Chains A and B, each alone.
Chain A
């Protein structure tokens, strides 16, 4: 059947929106749509048997293996309490400078996020542990809540990041390159946050009153560093193996899990309870994400075999807009969607449509993917519906949601600044993947 481009788009996205907004689990919304589409466009038959084979091949891919394994590694590091050790160590190293607790939250959040790979877990953990301590010291919401939202969001960019692997798989770009590409932007973002909180604490001391932090001896500092060295080594080895081309991300992730178990045993924190809850929790997230991949691959294939993708690409190409304008428009769409729907759903809807356009416009797919990853992270802290804001509200019930919104706004602005920097200097993103040994 032929509906033309507009008809196809209305059919696919209209129906998808109806299913999604009706509260059907997203994976089944995509599946229903794919099956309806194969009846409508191919009269069942060949379209349906395509679904049967695709279901297997879409998820049975070696490239997807880091998703369960990075998640498991993060869960293990978090539930055995190892990831929290980094927060403690960072705190010792931050000297007696203005806003030290905010800086410690950003630094701790960066490491904790990198280890756990989960923004929500990071915000929940730091929100429940650090905010009370900060309030006791007279820190106001912009400096306490803001710092934790900032640090927590970094989990997505700095490897090992399961969300990065998912984006790479959907966008069909090299997962190794994508993971490496996130490192410098992630560190740059952490540096921007540091600068922001230090300057703001200096200018508005009433938001973060200085206090007499106990003086820590160099010996204690070094001891704390030695204590977390194996954990830092874990991140370095996992990303290092990928960077040096010794192992694929899948293999690096597998060794990461094994190494985490050894480390946890070494720290005497390997309990059956922690392993059990990590395993079941990883399974929940993994099964959810993989089922959604199964369902959405059918969707993107349907878009392409019905000619919708190519028609869209040629129509947009004729508009004669600058590629950079396209990049900005696509980011705005993600940001807008982010106000209403969750990260994974955004990726599934947007990436199959965006990537053909990106390729047609000659935009670097890795660079673009990192920009999208930052926008997705941003989606988590954008009022009114950013999910991390509600996680924060959940662990700090006494805070008003508007206080949290106000604390999140500067963080949003800084992330937009990062986006501007990445757009002006693509080398920040592309240097590491270019250096990667192949």
Chain B
């Protein structure tokens, strides 16, 4: 199987996780609204709403990050690299992706160690809403591993693509949900 097919396959998988994360953002706005309304109107507080929103932020970050990485949409500074010849871009890309891969691995290891510790010690969240500490933490090692895999694929792309930076730009363009043009077209119709 070619590297590009593998890359796209993983990207599709990551997109599913990202969709879950995106849904979490929407859901979060609903349960916070619910909490504010019931608290002010009916004097009925839901302490879990606050806690759950904080945990959701962590899940949103790490569920979404692999997809964003595969689309090369984590901000990076291309000012210098885009001036370089393709060979040098390839070398830099390989070096930086390798480094980042090991960073993800290390992050996965230390966060997994912490999560396992919480699980074995039956640690609870020190909040009113008491849940096992391991649940909200679980996404950290999982997300780090997923990011690590994404970097392996990025590395493979840097090794094999004829013009790796162009290939990355293509991925970014393929998933350009955040490009303003789409909004501009909508807006044009409205005007």
Contact = CB atoms under 8 A, between A and B. Distances in A.
A64 B28 CA distance: 13
A280 B15 CA distance: 9
Interface residues of A, number: 82
B57 A81 contact: no
> Which residue, of A22, A61, A62, A345, has the highest number of chain B Cβ atoms within 10 A?
A22
Nearest to A395: B184
Given A257-B29, A280-B19, A281-B178, A287 B186 contact: no
A87 B30 CA distance: 29
Nearest to A39: B106
A147 B67 CA distance: 36
Interface string B51-66: 0011101101111110
A56 B78 contact: no
Contacts of A125: 180, 183-184, 187
Nearest to B69: A25
Nearest to A80: B186
Question: Which has the most chain B C-beta neighbours within 10 Å: A19, A56, A283?
Answer: A283
B107 interface: yes
B175 to A, nearest CB: 8
Interface in A38-96: 48-49, 51-53, 55-56, 59-62, 64-65, 68-69, 72, 75, 78-85, 87-88
A25 B81 CA distance: 12
A201 B54 CA distance: 51
B32 A254 contact: yes
A304 interface: no
Contacts of A28: 74, 96, 99-100, 103
Interface in A336-351: 340-342, 344-345
B100 A60 contact: no
Contact of A24 (B89, B100, B114): B100
Contacts of B71: 284
Output the residue of A25, A35, A286 with the most chain B CB within 10 A: A25
Interface string B84-124: 00000100110110011001001100110110000000000
Interface in B137-181: 137, 140, 175, 177-178, 180-181
Given A61-B57, A251-B32, A52 B110 contact: yes
Contacts of A83: 187
A391 B79 CA distance: 16
Contacts of B128: none
B41 interface: no
Contacts of B36: 247, 251, 254-255
Nearest to B84: A23
Interface stretch (A6-14, A217-225, A288-296, A422-430): A288-296
A279 interface: yes
Contacts of B191: 84, 87-88, 129
A83 B67 CA distance: 28
A48 B113 CA distance: 11
A22 B93 CA distance: 8
Contacts of A87: 187, 191
A146 to B, nearest CB: 19
Interface majority SS (helix, strand, loop, mixed), chain B: helix
Identify the interface centre among A24, A82, A123: most chain B CB within 10 Å of its CB.
A24
Contacts of B73: 284, 288
A315 to B, nearest CB: 28
A31 to B, nearest CB: 5
B33 A21 contact: no
A279 B93 CA distance: 30
Nearest to B80: A21
A426 B26 CA distance: 38
Given A60-B54, A60-B57, A254-B32, A24 B184 contact: no
A97 to B, nearest CB: 21
B1 interface: no
A32 interface: yes
B178 A285 contact: yes
Contacts of A32: 99-100, 103
A282 interface: yes
B40 to A, nearest CB: 8
A79 B29 contact: no
Contacts of B23: 279
B74 A25 contact: yes
Contacts of A72: 25-26, 29
A279 B19 CA distance: 8
A247 to B, nearest CB: 6
Given A288-B75, A294-B61, 9 more contacts: A22-B95, A23-B77, A56-B137, A254-B29, A279-B19, A279-B25, A283-B60, A284-B18, A385-B79
Q: State the 5 A-B residue pairs at the shortest beta-carbon distance, nearest first.
A: A287-B64, A124-B180, A254-B32, A81-B190, A84-B187
19 contacts: A20-B77, A23-B80, A23-B96, A24-B99, A31-B100, A35-B107, A78-B183, A82-B190, A84-B190, A120-B180, A128-B188, A254-B33, A258-B30, A279-B25, A280-B22, A282-B22, A284-B68, A341-B79, A344-B75
Interface of A: 19-28, 31-32, 35, 48-49, 51-53, 55-56, 59-62, 64-65, 68-69, 72, 75, 78-85, 87-88, 116, 118, 120-121, 123-125, 128-129, 246-247, 250-251, 253-255, 257-258, 274, 277, 279-288, 290-292, 294, 340-342, 344-345, 385, 391, 395
